[in-house]
Structure 1
Amino acid sequence: MDQIQSIRVFARVVEAGTFTKAAQSLDLPKGTVTKLVQHLEARLKVKLLNRTTRRVTVTPDGAAYYERTVRVLNDLDDIEASMTNAQAKPSGRLRVDVGSSVAREIIIPALADFYRRFPDIQLDLGVSDRSVDLLADNVDCVLRGGELLDQSLVARRVANVSLITVASPAYLQAHGTPTHPEQLESGHTMVNHFSTRNGRHYVNEFEKDGQMLEISGRYKLSVNESNAITAAVLAGLGVAQMAAFTARPLIERGELVQVLSDWTCMTIPLYVVYPPNRHLSAKVRAFVEWVAELLARHPHMSG
């Protein structure tokens, strides 16, 4: 068995957490993956992995072996990349995960430009507001807003998303227009947002003249997906804080109205995130640079 291939397969099993996911990401039969790892362990005369029916865990020897060999694999990737034509067109299958509203409002409408520049890239675009495990799910990179929970990942800040407070004309006609954030605690209904990761409700922040308010607001509906917030506000179900890049076009068309405009809402950083131990291939680099350029020129994004 090829030693380098066995090491690559072992590293992928460690990253994916199961033989099945590793086999799928490598496009190999599960039996081949299992056999390659077994041959590697036999060659080293060391147990690298503990196997159960659900999960694979790394032994102490396996963890030490992974840490050393993954650096070697990255060095090999760098050497191969340096020996190829630097002007070669990025190509191949690229797996990217993007938040729902960013995908709908920004990424997908601009993809024709991406394919004009990079016609040989095949894009698998995962669209959701849930957090993904880049290694286990075999994702090349993600575009996500908010706090970065996994500090081991490599993150590039590409934009800032401003929030604004909005409601539909029908809602305001029925309930009146709030003039102070505290009115959202009584007399008004909000459409709130909760985390896909832990179910925690996000607090609506308002700032004016150095005064900071955190408003939970009364709600009948709370959702965990950004496009659902837009649909709920358009349906007149309440007041909500929405990303400016989504809300501004709707305001311009008269479908939504900005309220409490003299109060500033929070700004959310937007990152492109990718695994630290994976070689940044030409296709990933092409997508990252394209996204950064796209967001830099967007009228409702700030750098």
Structure 2
Amino acid sequence: MDKLRLLEIFLATCDGGSFAAAAKVCDTDPSTVSKAISRLEAQLQLTLFQRSTRHLRITTAGKYYADTTRKLLQDLSSCEDELRHLNDSPCGILRINAAACYGHLYVRPLLHAFSQRYPAIKLELEINDLHLDVIDNDIDIALRTGYVKDSRLVARQLSPMDFLVCASPHYLEVQGTPQHADDFHNHHWIGFRIKETQQLQPIFLPNRHGAYLPHELERRHVTDDGETMAYMCADGLGIAQLPHFLAKPGLDSGDLVSLYPHYRPPQPANGVFAIYPKRDYLPAKVRVFIEFITAALDSMGESPQHTWAEHLAPLVDFPHTPSRTIQRTAP
């Protein structure tokens, strides 16, 4: 019998004045109550009740112990009620970690409306490309590109990650538009260097049949920052292959145009995911944030299976594009 159960039986005995009364309250028998009180007294090395054949009288030590025990159990009950309220109500501090580009372009613009809807939630937003341990760093939810294989975590896909080959209208006016695979080598390309590996991100481009293949192209300019890459492209420094969320501001403003149909790498290794610790009772603050961002993405034409890039009219189309298959070549 655990200590908490002993304390409950002890208080029931104090309140009822007998083992029989305590047994009725605790749904057991008087013999079990008597043994429980004896066990508690043995642990404490104190006499809590004076026993006689007809009466049960609590001792001075027993009264003091009962007052303290009752307060402890009341505090424990209040604590449990408060924790249940915090878990079931959208309130408290919500710690969000987001990949830099996605955080700046997709997450940050949503926070004002989210905060207005859930004023009891206080936001702590970290924007970086570090793959931090969600549990060790006490992160409630991480928004990352790429799948995370960790049995302690739930990875809920928000959308695929589609790539678009983009250029500025001014660049195309000066340099021309590549129409065929042979033209790719005759243009200036902006490369992206992955910070963790220092490797250049591969460039996948369509062949004459619309199938996407990796291309070895000289990068005239290189950066390790996604937003800078998009700005360099919009400034006319060259052509870049951008994730859809990074290309969206430039496409919306007209500073960028999309040359070819979107490229979608193989799943599930590629996409945008909401990552959070696996638990039986998901806190309401996490649940409502996921629901909010999912609804916001839906209004933008994005879902776990689709993005708006699928419907974007490319500047240059290739034969048989609607039925093309993605080349599953590892980067």
Q: Same fold (TM over 0.5)?
A: yes
- Residue 254 of structure 1, CA deviation: 2.5
Asked if 1:213 corresponds to 2:218, the answer is no
Q: Secondary structure in 2 aligned to 1:129?
A: coil
- Residue 83 of structure 1, CA deviation: 7.9
Distance 1:93 1:173 in 2: 50
Q: Report the counterpart of residue 123 of structure 2 in structure 1.
A: 123
Q: Report the counterpart of residue 158 of structure 1 in structure 2.
A: 158
Q: Report the counterpart of residue 198 of structure 2 in structure 1.
A: 199
Cα contact 1:190–1:238 (8 A) shared by 2: yes
Q: How does 1:23-38 map to 2 (within 5 A)?
A: none
Report the AA paired with residue 285 of structure 2.
K
Cα contact 2:165–2:258 (8 A) shared by 1: yes
Distance 1:140 1:120 in 2: 16
Cα contact 1:141–1:284 (8 A) shared by 2: yes
Asked if 1:177 corresponds to 2:177, the answer is yes
Q: Report the counterpart of residue 187 of structure 2 in structure 1.
A: 188
Identity in percent = 26
Q: Report the counterpart of residue 229 of structure 1 in structure 2.
A: 229
Q: Using a 3 Å threshold, how does the CA distance of structure 1 residues 193 and 147 change in structure 2: closer, same or farther? A: farther
Distance 1:141 1:171 in 2: 40
Q: Using a 3 Å threshold, how does the CA distance of structure 1 residues 278 and 100 change in structure 2: closer, same or farther? A: farther
Asked if 1:272 corresponds to 2:270, the answer is no
Distance 2:138 2:152 in 1: 16
> Can you list the C-alpha shifts for 1:202-226, whole angstroms capped at 9, x where unaligned?
2122346463311242113222332
Q: Using a 3 Å threshold, how does the CA distance of structure 1 residues 243 and 225 change in structure 2: closer, same or farther? A: same
Cα contact 2:190–2:238 (8 A) shared by 1: yes
Cα contact 1:163–1:241 (8 A) shared by 2: yes
Q: Using a 3 Å threshold, how does the CA distance of structure 1 residues 87 and 100 change in structure 2: closer, same or farther? A: closer
Distance 1:200 1:296 in 2: 33
- Structure 2 spans left out of the alignment, 5+ residues: 1-78, 308-331
Q: Report the counterpart of residue 69 of structure 1 in structure 2.
A: none
- Residue 266 of structure 1, CA deviation: 2.0
- Structure 1 spans left out of the alignment, 5+ residues: 1-78
> Can you list the C-alpha shifts for 1:228-254, whole angstroms capped at 9, x where unaligned?
211211222211111334424423432
Q: Secondary structure in 1 aligned to 2:296?
A: helix
Report the AA paired with residue 204 of structure 1.
I
Q: Using a 3 Å threshold, how does the CA distance of structure 1 residues 151 and 176 change in structure 2: closer, same or farther? A: farther
Q: Secondary structure in 2 aligned to 1:161?
A: coil
Q: Report the counterpart of residue 256 of structure 2 in structure 1.
A: 256
Distance 1:92 1:291 in 2: 18
Cα contact 1:206–1:266 (8 A) shared by 2: no
Q: Which has the higher strand share?
A: 1
Q: Report the counterpart of residue 294 of structure 2 in structure 1.
A: 292
Q: Using a 3 Å threshold, how does the CA distance of structure 1 residues 88 and 256 change in structure 2: closer, same or farther? A: same
Distance 1:110 1:193 in 2: 27
> Can you list the C-alpha shifts for 1:32-61, whole angstroms capped at 9, x where unaligned?
xxxxxxxxxxxxxxxxxxxxxxxxxxxxxx
Q: Report the counterpart of residue 90 of structure 2 in structure 1.
A: 90
Q: Using a 3 Å threshold, how does the CA distance of structure 1 residues 212 and 252 change in structure 2: closer, same or farther? A: closer
Paired residue total: 223
Distance 1:130 1:147 in 2: 14
Q: Report the counterpart of residue 55 of structure 2 in structure 1.
A: none
- Residue 109 of structure 1, CA deviation: 1.5
- Residue 143 of structure 1, CA deviation: 0.6
Q: Using a 3 Å threshold, how does the CA distance of structure 1 residues 172 and 298 change in structure 2: closer, same or farther? A: same
Q: Report the counterpart of residue 18 of structure 2 in structure 1.
A: none
Report the AA paired with residue 285 of structure 1.
R
Asked if 1:142 corresponds to 2:135, the answer is no
Report the AA paired with residue 281 of structure 1.
P
- Residue 139 of structure 1, CA deviation: 1.7
Q: Using a 3 Å threshold, how does the CA distance of structure 1 residues 171 and 151 change in structure 2: closer, same or farther? A: farther
Q: Structure 1-normalised TM-score?
A: 0.64
Superposed CA RMSD in Å reads 3.0
